[in-house]
Amino acid sequence: MDYAKILENIETSKTKFNKQSEVKLIAVSKNVTSKEVVNLYTQGQIEFGENRVQELNKKIGELQNYDIKWHFIGSLQSNKINQLIPLRPTLWQSCNSFKLACGVDKRLNYKLDTLLEINVANEDSKSGIEINRAVEEYLHIQEECKNLNMCGVMSIGAHSDDMSLVKKSFDDTYKIYEKLRPHGAKICSMGMSSDFELAIECGSNMIRLGTILFEDMK
Ligand SMILES: *Cc1c(COP(=O)(O)O)cnc(C)c1O
């Protein structure tokens, strides 16, 4: 789908939740090269996401002349923490355990905006913190890890053709987000190519799109 059409669909979905809400689009460039990133950037897209530290490092190097904001959205292995930190991502969306949070926190020499990744689908293949522990873990990290600036939550919707299951996973994420709002949470990152419209209708204010954005470019 072209960029303008996607932006239009985001606007339409927003009106079904709350006209006033801002929904930020993050372009996930993990399966494309810097060339496609530049293509989208010239159309006005500023924020991009990568799920591997090495690839993030490579693209940052290649795209130094562009004022791009990079998000880290992948599972972070502890042996990659030292490589991620100097890249200074705009947002680390995938903090998925207290232990990992502490590992990053103790090495940071600046404040890193961070989201707690929740495993709302409770699928074994997905990383993230269980729903019923999410609020407690978030507050624990916020209390103990002073270099992590906890900004909200991220989840990956249930992988299912049954839209009611996908919706439930977004509703569950949103409920956790609401509980964390009094504690400073501002970002509810949910929605990917196959389900972003539903995610926005359920209250998402940050979506992460890869496939649908880049499919026509390759
Ligand atoms: C790949 C990825 C996306 C984008 O997925 P698409 O289905 O290609 O839009 C979003 N979030 C995360 C965490 C990802 O790894």
Q: pLDDT tens digit string along 19-46?
A: 677 999 999 999 999 999 999 999 999 9
Q: How far apart are CA 94 and CA 102, in angstroms?
A: 14
What is the CA(182)–ligand 1 centre distance, in A?
28
Q: Are strands 47-50 and 148-155 parallel, antiparallel or unpaired?
A: unpaired
Q: 45, 51, 95, 190: which to mutate for ligand 1, most atoms within 8 A of CB? A: 51
Pairing relation of β-strands 24-28 and 187-189? unpaired
Alpha-carbon distance of 86 to 145, in angstroms, equals 18
Strands (DSSP E) found in 67-134: 69-72, 91-95, 112-118
pLDDT of residue 84: 98
CB 48 within 8 Å of CB 28: yes
Specify the residue for token string 């789908």. Answer: 1
> 128 near 117, Cβ under 8 Å?
yes
Residues of the chain with pLDDT under 50: none
Measured on CA atoms in the order 214, 126, 178, 84, is the torsion positive or negative?
negative
Please state the pTM of the whole predicted model: 0.96
What local confidence, expressed as pLDDT, does residue 19 receive? 66
How far, in Å, from the CA of 74 to the mean position of ligand 1? 9
Whose C-alpha lies nearest to ligand 1, atom 11? 208
Q: How far apart are CA 211 and CA 63, in angstroms?
A: 21
